[in-house]
Structure 1
């Protein structure tokens, strides 16, 4: 299971986007980016962070370590921002932490070179999880110690916002034309050959088991957290078997509206984490 830590000090909010994550210190002496259950996007974004973040790490991609974080809202009493105060009050209990990468910079495709192999691996991974939020508009990637790190997977697996249509939705092709790494000649066939055989039922079942029960309860159409976990496994397994032949890399559409869901549309580019 994911390591569980206790938040000991709320440091500062990160004001990119609408979820208002915060930098938080924990009782293991680590520093994390905390993503809150009380944020407007809801707990499904945390489920997506866990499943897709762990999947990326299992495939050998650089994704910051994830932890469960227990939060006592009292740690934010000195925070002067009323919006932050309300978020902390709404998020008491179990939240998600992502390892903080001090000194990292927001990825800029004009300033940082990525190999065709690595670009292909990231594009194939994003196609599998249907990541509509790693585009030139909002890269959701950092450069740390000269290497590319992938962050923010809350806008993936869009089908889990409407499970009755999940089978149809998850079968859709993936248009990577606006992907932030599309200009690096992604070697998608090589990535498919490397990654597709690794996506097994056992692998996905183990990853889904890492999601806390309390983020999975009361989902319409499912009688238990395990039943919902099974739906994630089944959907991703089916997509892994078909997505390699359904990835499109065309000319980027600079004037095309974002494919991100409404609650992410219009999010400004991520600033460097300092």
Structure 2
């Protein structure tokens, strides 16, 4: 793997992914029972927007930094920016939280988190971030293998019956990655059918996603929702024009909360031709 998320930390895709992630966490925490979260492609967990990798692309300038300049008034945006501020208070004014950090921030003392990262350097950084947190297990392993190994939760976590699986792969070989994602979701849902799955995917040309999304209603999930944010028209295969979150078994009323925030994100982060989409691929029973 050559992918490093540090080049893309805080971009428009991160904003969408992390707003949705926190919304799911808060919905799960509405009940007192413990939650288990699996992050299959965790990265290093914590980034700096002033390091050489982030400055090389400058993607955060059109993402989280633009949102910070003039944030639209919405509870999900406020929740995201509150978490960002907590990260900066703990780690410095240019820090940016990855999904493992946000999970650890959002979840409670009796919840448990498993994070997976295959790249040795990134896994070492991840262990350094969470070395003192007993809730977080760091696995230097392939995240798809972890779906088979860690679901349903085992050992002390076997008592946990609710949870979240976050799948955020690099899509270095995009079409092949979609096949792997679908296979992992099918296997994971068979092993732990009650879990909510949040699967991030990039959008270059939206029509290229049609074969992938047509397969989703065939998965053993009770419901399937897509939330997409395009910051420009999807007419270029050479750059990421937007991204989406495929949500399997999403929490109740999450669609209504996302329906009100997606237009605000498109208006604030988008260029001319920006758009958003929120559709059920399988409606709840």
Q: Return the TM-score normalized by structure 2.
A: 0.28
Relative to its length, the structure with more helix (as a share) is 2
